[in-house]
Amino acid sequence: PGGTRPASARPTIATQVAAGTGAAVTLQGVGKSFGDQVVLDDVQLELKAGSVTVLVGPSGAGKSTLLRLINHLERADHGFVTVGGQLVGYRRDGDTLYELAESEIRRRRADVGMVFQSFNLFPHLTALENIIEAPMAVRGIPRVQAERQAADLLERVGLSDKANAYPRQLSGGQQQRIAIARALALQPKVLLFDEPTSALDPELVTEVLSVIEELARSGTTLVIVTHELGFARRVADHVVMMDQGKVIEQGPPDAIFDHPRQQRTADFLAKTL
Ligand code: ADP
Ligand code: MG
């Protein structure tokens, strides 16, 4: 299925989406439910290219679901998501939207990198092989070229000496830095982090946050879910506070952290600090 099935309820809104904003990621009136549980409720976001957005909020707020929508792992029930000006999950023909075929969704998913809490490296592949796998398989890049790029990425995450190590031979912090290098290898338009340090022993958190901070400075568009509020304050251009499926406030880090306008934000920050 897919590819030819019109999403018939949506043609008029397609025209609004077509207006475009030049933003790296937009969410326009996005709603998502699982069964009768509303997990995202009319979420409106616009993330500028090259910006760093930090998503905060209590467990169950819908943060991971929001990332999964940007990464084509979930489909919105209402509204639209765009990445790099392209609609997630649909192609447009005039005013009509068509659901994309799974093969096309897979291709577009390569535009969005994702780093998870649990590093998710392939255990039977070395660090280098983990990094070159997707560029070769998804982008068809020749091995020599993929290896050269991987060497640069390993250097960038400070692990040039671990190219031939297997994940089990690496610390959690090192595995997560390899996972970041692997995500970067596809040169994504946007890189998403879902609590990238939550599974790490405390002494390993800093090395991973440093790599992400370095990326933030390099102008990569990042969306980061984290409870590391000091880090968030340092790297974020934009902080989005979510609760119960809603964006309850958003703004620059100083505004959100020092002068929250919502009691729920103040309560959450007090608990998390
Ligand atoms: P957060 O990342 O902010 O903790 P999530 O996006 O993971 O929040 O989850 C939001 C809510 O949606 C939670 O109540 C969760 O149980 C529910 N949820 C998430 N994914 C699914 C799913 N695939 N099926 C059913 N419920 C889900
Ligand atoms: Mg989550």
- pLDDT(86) > 70: yes
**ipTM field:** 0.98
Is the CB of residue 208 less than 8 Å from the CB of residue 176? yes
Q: Kindly report, residue by residue over 146-173, the tens digit of the pLDDT.
A: 999 999 999 999 999 999 999 999 999 9
81 CA → ligand 1 middle, Å: 18
Q: Whose CA is nearest to atom 15 of ligand 1?
A: 60
170 CA → ligand 2 middle, Å: 25
Q: Whose CA is nearest to atom 5 of ligand 1?
A: 62
Q: For residue 3, how far is the Cα from the chain centroid?
A: 25
Which ligand 1 atom sits nearest the alpha carbon of residue 40? 10
Which ligand 1 atom sits nearest the alpha carbon of residue 74? 23
Q: Kindly report, residue by residue over 202-231, the tens digit of the pLDDT.
A: 999 999 999 999 999 888 899 999 999 999
Q: For residue 179, how far is the Cα from the chain centroid?
A: 13
**Exposed e or buried b per residue across 59-76, where buried means at least 16 C-beta atoms within 10 angstroms of its C-beta:** eebbbbbbbbbbbbebeb
Instruction: Give the separation between CA 204 and CA 26, rounded to whole angstroms.
Output: 33
217 CA → ligand 1 middle, Å: 31
Name the pLDDT band for 18 (thresholds 50, 70, 90): very low
- Comparison of pLDDT for 99 and 11, the residue scoring more: 99
Q: Kindly report, residue by residue over 1-14, the tens digit of the pLDDT.
A: 444 455 444 444 44
- Which residues partner with 40 through β-bridges? 32
Which ligand 1 atom sits nearest the alpha carbon of residue 35? 25
Ramachandran angles phi, psi of 224, nearest 5°: -125, 120
What is the value of pTM for the model shown? 0.91
- pLDDT(125) > 90: yes
Among candidates 228, 210, 232, 206, which has minimal Cα distance to 273? 228
Is the CB of residue 257 less than 8 Å from the CB of residue 269? yes
> Residues with beta carbon < 5 A to ion ligand 2?
63-64
Is the CB of residue 110 less than 8 Å from the CB of residue 20? no
Helix (H) or strand (E) holding 17: helix 11-18
Within 10 Å of residue 131's Cβ, how many Cβ atoms? Answer: 29
Is the CB of residue 48 less than 8 Å from the CB of residue 24? yes
